[in-house]
């Protein structure tokens, strides 16, 4: 989880260009043996699809890690 404070996007401090502060929640959960030989995990960025000016999209995926 991360918090971003408010930002004003104009040089003259126009109150109509202020983006309020917001919190983004990311998640990662996985399974694998205790020896760490492999791991399968699912991950999500911007889990609750919070809209904001930067990176305003939800991203999800699956990862397979294997050690040789």
Predicted pLDDT of residue 41: 95
pLDDT in the model for residue 30: 94
Taking the chain (68 residues) in runs of 10, the rounded mean pLDDT of each run is: 86 89 90 91 86 66 84
Which single residue is written with the structure tokens 């000016």?
A: 53
Is the torsion defined by CA of 33, 31, 62, 36 positive or negative?
A: negative
Read off the tokens for 18: 């202020």
pLDDT value of position 65: 87
**Nearest residue to 59 (alpha-carbon basis) of 38, 39, 48, 45:** 45
Please tell me the pTM assigned to this model: 0.56
pLDDT at 7: 86
- Residue 56: the pLDDT is 53
């Amino acid at each position: 989880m991360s918090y971003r404070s408010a930002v004003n996007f104009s040089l003259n401090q126009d109150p109509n260009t202020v983006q309020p502060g917001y919190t983004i929640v990311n998640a990662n959960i996985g399974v694998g043996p205790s020896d760490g030989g492999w791991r399968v995990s699912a991950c999500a960025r911007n889990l609750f699809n919070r809209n904001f000016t930067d990176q305003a999209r939800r991203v999800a995926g699956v990862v397979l890690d294997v050690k040789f």
